[in-house]
Every structure is written in C-alpha cells, then in structure tokens.
Amino acid sequence: MNDDPLIALKSGTDAKSASGDAAAIGNIAERAGQSIPDVLSILPLRSFVIFPGTILPLTVGRAASIKLLDETLPQTKIIGLLTQRDETKEEPEPQDLYPVGTAAIVLKLLRQSDSHVILVVQGLRRFALRTIVAAHPYLRAEVELLHSKFPTQTKEWEATFRNLRDSSAKLLELTPDMPEQARAVVLSIEDPEQLADFLAPNLNVDTAQKQAILEELDVEKRLAAVQKGISAQLEIAQIQQKLHQDVQSQFSEAQRRAYLREQMKAIQRELGEDAGTADQIERLSKRLEEAKPPEEVLKQADRELKRLDVIPPASPEYSVIVSYVETIAELPWSKLSKDNLDLNQAQQILDRDHYDLEKVKRRLIEYLAVRKLNPQGHGPILCFLGPPGVGKTSLGQSIADALGRKFVRMSLGGIRDEAEIRGHRRTYIGSMPGRIIQELRRAGTRNPVMMLDEVDKIGADFRGDPASALLEVLDPRQNHTFSDRYLDVPFDLSQVLFIATANYIDAVPEPLRDRMEVISLPGYTEREKLEIAKRYLVRRQLEENGLKPEQCEWQEEAFRRIINDYTHEAGVRELERQIGAVCRAVAAQVARGETERATITPERVAELLGPAKYVRETKLKTSQPGVVTGLAYTPAGGEVLHIEATRYPGKGNVTLTGHIGEVMKESVQAALSLVRSRDGQLGTNAEDFRKIDIHVHVPAGAVPKDGPSAGIAMFTALASLFSKRPVRPDVAMTGEITLRGL
C-alpha cells in the first residue's frame, strides 16, 4: 500500500468513479450472496490499517500468508485483516497483532510467482478476536462483529459532520493534480460513519493512530479524530500554497527555473519531510570522518554529499550517490591488521598446517624478517605454481594465519570482463566496484592476504582483458594509486600481500608473469603423500565422519595401498576422498553395531574400495629385441614407459600407434633415419628397409603422450630390433637424439 495519503485518495476516487456512486462502498459480501463467517482466517498486515469500505491492493509474500489464501479462498472470499504491532516480525504470533481488525472480501487475486501474490480487497466490517482456533500454519480465530455507537441526531452533530466533509473537500481542492471527481465523491457521502472510514486511511498519521480510529466504536469520537488529522493536513496545504505564491512573486520568469529546487526545499521544511534526508547526510558525513580517507577522497565524497541537498530522494540519482558515499565510507582507508613478526611462531603455524613445502615457508619467513627490519617496505607478489591438489589455496590461508592478517580469496577462473577487476563506471545502471575493492571492503582491513586463485584461467573477449587490468594491481610500483572506475579515486594496495595460483605458467600472459615471483609446488612423492595422510587427512576424515581415533586405526601399508592402487595424482585430493570412503564404511559398521573398532589393513582397503584402479608399469621380467624401457614425466610424477617395435614384410611403411603426439612422431622419424644411416654397424642394409614395414607402439593407447625426450628410447628400440639384440630390462632411458647420433 502506498503511504502517500493523496495517492490513496486518488485510488479510492477511481474505485468510486468506476461504480458511479459513492454508496458503492457498501457491503459487497451481501451483494455476492456471502455472509461473514464466525471463524475467519487472519492475514497479518504490516504498516497500514484497512477500514470498512476501503478498496486497496495488498502484496503478499510470506509463505504462511500464501498458504492461507490457497486454502481459504476456495471456500470463502472473506478473510480477516489484523495489523501487526511490530512490523519487523516475520512470523507474528496472536499477541503480536492488534485485537481489532476488518473483515474483507477478496475482489481480485494476481499470482506473479510462487512467493509473490497481489490481492485487491475491500473492507466490510469491524471485528474483534474472541477465541484462537488455530495458530499454525496460519492464524484462524473466532471473531465477533462490532457495531458502531451513533450519537443522538442534533444540530451540533450535523454541523460536525458537515464541517469534516467540507474540510476534506477543501483539502482535495488544494491538492495538485487531484481529479475533480474526488471532491464530488466526498461531498456526496451522507453517512457520517462511511465518511470517517473513507477518510481515515488517508490521514498523514502513524499506524498506531489509525488503529485507534479503527477501534473507536463511538462514531462521534471517531469523526473528531479524523477531523483533527484533516485539519492538520489542511493547514499544511494552505501553508504550501502560500509558500508557492511567495516564491513565485520573488523571482522573474528567467530566474524561476533556477530556483525551483529552493521552492521544493521550502515546502519540504514546512511539511517536515526533509528531516530524513538531513539525518542521512549527517550520518554519512560522520561515517566518512570515522573512515579517515585521504584528503582528496574526502573532498570528492563531500562534493557528492552536497549534491544530495538539491536532489529529491525519489530521484534515481539520489540512491546512486548514497551507494557511492557508503562504499567510500566502508572501505578500510586507515585500518591495518597488526603483523605477527614472531618468526618462530609463524614457522610453527606453517609447519602445523602443511607438510614439507620448505621453499615456500622459507620465502615467507624471509618476508617477515624484511618486514620486521623495514616496516614501510612493499609486500612481494607471489605466484604458487603447481598441479591441482598440492595445497596452493590452503597455503594462502596458513600464510594469513601466520601473519595475523585477514584472508580473502578471489577466484579468477572464467573471468572475461575487465570490469570485474576495475569496476563499472557510475554512469551505468547497477554499477558497482570491482572485485578487488569489494573484497577489501569485506575484509575490513587494508593489508589482508589476498589469494588470486586460478590466474591462468582468465579469458579475454570484446569486454576487455582482465589480465591486463591485473597489471596495475600486481605492480608494487603502481598499486599504491590503484584507481577503481566506480570509486574514481586512488586506493592504496601496496600493503596487500597478493598471492596468485596457477596450474600452468604458459597460460599466464608474459607481462603478468613478469610482475610475480613464481614459486613452484611440484607434485608430492609417495613418501610425502604418506606423511600427509598420516598427519592431516586421516584426522580430518575421522572428525568429519564422527569416528574416534581408537575406532579406526590405520596401518601404514594401508596408506601405501591407497596411494599406489587407488590414486594417480600430483596432489592429495583423491587420496583424501578414498580415505574418506574407508572411514564412511567403518562408520556405517559402527552405527549398525557390527563392530566397535576396526583396523585398516591393505587387505581391508581392497575389500572396501574394490579392485585396484591403477596398475603401474614395472620392470620387464624378460626382454626381447625391439622392446625398450623409457622414462616419462607426468603431473602425477615419473612413470615407466615401454616402447615396442616390430617388423614384418611390406613396402617400407612406418606405422605409429599409442596416441603419441607430433613431437614423438618426429622422434621416431629421426631415430629411424639414424638407424638407416648406420646399417652397416647394425647388420642391416638399405634393401631390407624397402621390403619391410615397421610398427612402433607405445602401450596405454588411451593416454596421450608427447614430449621432446623419447628420441634415445626410439632409436634404441629400432636398433635392438634390427640388430636382434635385446636391451637389458633393468635399464631405462630418457633424452633426445640427433641425426648425428648425439
């Protein structure tokens, strides 16, 4: 419902015009052949009171209220409307509602969504609560219809009624843009009670005063209360008219447009409507002073605040300026977390959360030492490079804990809009600061540890290049004056400890890579995974699955079984998932009472997790000509790779299989050329190559293979094939070879 009394009068007038008669406010329930039931479903209202005869739209959004409508309206169109004492309560109890309300008929229902319904209702009769029939899921109560008390018909009573009617008509006459029909409707009402109930909803008073008028059954007192409100509004309207005439008479037509806003301010002061704006400006000014921004920023914010004095609160620009100033006031211009410069304590925190990673820990301790000796120095821009699951992101949280700083994480994966970093200009609808400024506002400090996750996953399109926008952020020589497009004032990022993470350094643009100190986090070895599992992963999974350490004891060989047979990764995410699967199986047995404690052995792991998922290549037990053991590098670590070559009658063709890449194909061609160039040494001749076909195969054909270090293995396989001499099975090789045999 709109709180503007003039608008409410207009909507009431439109309803009368549509009916063609003021008496249309009468009892619609009777015309519809319905009577008011003794038990009503009660719909709580916030902020306004409905009177008998009033036609108003209601917006319904609470789940209980929508359920009330769904279950009640199929039986009866009449519901009870009670106003809440406290409008902030989402689920009011019976004691939270006023005891007197209005029975109303639902004229129209418009369902915009499952959680948004608009009703058009008309008030019928006053009622009072008597007995609560049901309180949940919505209120149903037995009610008593109330009857008004009419005074004796005297000349004084008639004068009171006519005075109220004339005052209301005069108020409508002084109201700008009010249709003439509104005044005619008021003058045509002959029933004092009907007139009071028609005017009461439009009084410029608070909800409690309107409720008091609704509860007043003495029509004479009710008219007096309405008359008091109408007289106050009429006096204000007359002052408003006088001010308008005074302002118009002071200035010429040429100056009139320049001083229209002064006129508006004068009207607002007389009506007492500018207090909220003044309070808001004062509150924003106080918050700006508490934020202690630089002088340049404070001047910019003050300029915007001065504009609020001359902009109407209803203007869209008003809310834009308020949001802008609030953003400036909420930024941590002068708030800094105190660094923990105790090197030993920082080392203990890092060792507590992460195993090994000595290079990273040493670099952080060095930063703390430099910070201790030179507090004004710039923080480093670090980039943790490594495969997924090695602890890059969690290491950032541990660094923040060790430093005693706040930690914020910003995922850059998939970002393609430069405005995500630099923000949107305020000229755009719905503009907001960039992610950097938003995270700093959320952190509440100017020197957090900010993790820029997946910096190698940034994209670029027609909206700009976010990686280029990061150049200013990650440059210690420039980021002390970082300018967000939304703020349009510089913000100092020099105290932020930026830590980027990436899986592949080649995907990071060269200018961005040049600004960061890259620290590689290689995949974990089997020994490191074993220690991480024993120290961290098992403890965490036992806690998550509600198990005590004595209920699920692990043997070291069980960890090795999972690492070798059920995981194939550089990090430990899959390892933790498999440990969690075992813990869940044990938890299920404990919950069913099948066991009180379990010991996890390698055999128990195989029983719970099933057959091994990965079978590693091992040393060949026997060897034959044409088979060589090579070495390969994968993100999950080193691997043994068998290369096989065979020959058969043909026409000199070479077949390559095993899902190998272009580089390895070229290695085969180079190795074959070297073998043919040394046919005398290997016991072959050129004629042999024209009569045979050669097939080179690298097993595990579903796995792509490529790289520049397979040349020597390819040559050895072909040389072994043509010389018919087997290669020792305990020798593995890696490296390239040239056409000169180097």
- pLDDT the model gives residue 273: 52
The residue that leads in pLDDT, 8 or 360, is 360
- pLDDT the model gives residue 270: 64
Q: Which residues face 113 on adjacent strands?
A: 116
Q: What is the mean pLDDT of residues 70-95?
A: 90
Q: Is the domain defined by 5-145 classed in CATH 2.60.40.10? A: no
- pLDDT the model gives residue 57: 92
Count of residues in the chain: 742
- pLDDT the model gives residue 166: 83
* Closest-CA residue to 620 (of 642, 647, 644): 642
- pLDDT the model gives residue 269: 62
Q: Is the pLDDT of residue 288 over 60?
A: yes
- pLDDT the model gives residue 274: 55
- pLDDT the model gives residue 29: 43
Q: Which residues face 654 on adjacent strands?
A: 694
Residue 677's pLDDT band (boundaries 50, 70, 90)?
confident
Q: Is the pLDDT of residue 687 over 70?
A: no
Whether 5-145 and 343-520 share one fold: the answer is no
- pLDDT the model gives residue 79: 94
Residue 563 · residue 612 · CB < 8 Å: no
Q: What is the mean pLDDT of residues 156-180?
A: 79
Residue 678's pLDDT band (boundaries 50, 70, 90)?
confident
Q: Is the pLDDT of residue 460 over 80?
A: no
In the chain, the amino acid numbered 655 is T
Q: What is the mean pLDDT of residues 201-226?
A: 88
Residue 275's pLDDT band (boundaries 50, 70, 90)?
low
**Encoding tokens for residue 513?**
């890579």
Q: Is the pLDDT of residue 689 over 60?
A: yes
Host H or E run for residue 740: none
What angle (nearest 5°) sits at the alpha carbon of residue 21, between those of residues 18 and 25?
85
- pLDDT the model gives residue 118: 92
> Measured on CA atoms in the order 599, 604, 608, 609, is the torsion positive or negative?
positive
> Which of 28-37, 393-402, 405-414, 609-618 is least confident?
28-37
Per residue in 11-34, pLDDT (tens digit) is 333 333 333 333 344 444 444 446
Residue 588's pLDDT band (boundaries 50, 70, 90)?
very high
State how far the Cα of 388 lies from the Cα of 570, in Å rounded to an integer. 7
- pLDDT the model gives residue 618: 62
Q: What is the mean pLDDT of residues 519-539?
A: 89
- pLDDT the model gives residue 12: 38
Per DSSP, helices labelled H in 593-742 are: 602-609, 662-677, 679-682, 686-691, 711-723
State how far the Cα of 81 lies from the Cα of 45, in Å rounded to an integer. 7
> What DSSP line would sit under 556-614, residue for residue?
HHHHHHHHHHS---SSSHHHHHHHHHHHHHHHHHHHHTS-S-EEE-HHHHHHHH-S-S-
Q: Is the pLDDT of residue 577 over 90?
A: yes
Q: What is the mean pLDDT of residues 559-575?
A: 89
- CA 305 from centroid of its chain's CA atoms: 29
Give me the residue spans of the domains in the chain.
5-145, 275-330, 343-520, 526-609, 627-733
Q: Is the pLDDT of residue 146 over 60?
A: yes
Per residue in 102-139, pLDDT (tens digit) is 999 999 999 988 888 999 999 999 999 999 999 888 99
- CATH for 627-733, among 3.40.50.2000, 3.30.230.10, 3.10.20.30, 3.40.50.300? 3.30.230.10
- pLDDT the model gives residue 253: 53
- CATH for 343-520, among 2.10.109.10, 3.30.70.580, 3.40.50.300, 3.40.640.10? 3.40.50.300
Q: Is the pLDDT of residue 6 over 50?
A: no
Within 10 angstroms of residue 20's Cβ, the number of other Cβ atoms is: 8
CATH architecture for segment(s) 526-609: Orthogonal Bundle (1.10)
* Closest-CA residue to 494 (of 429, 446, 556): 446
Per residue in 32-81, pLDDT (tens digit) is 446 899 999 999 998 889 999 888 899 998 989 999 999 999 999 999 99
- pLDDT the model gives residue 230: 84
Q: What is the mean pLDDT of residues 350-355?
A: 85
Most confident of 42-56, 629-643, 701-715: 42-56
Residue 711 · residue 674 · CB < 8 Å: no
> Which of 302-316, 401-415, 650-664 is least confident?
302-316
- pLDDT the model gives residue 2: 37
Residue 652 · residue 668 · CB < 8 Å: no
pTM for the full model?
A: 0.56
Per residue in 462-481, pLDDT (tens digit) is 677 888 888 888 888 888 88
Residue 439's pLDDT band (boundaries 50, 70, 90)?
very high
- CA 27 from centroid of its chain's CA atoms: 50
How does the average pLDDT of the chain come out, rounded? 83
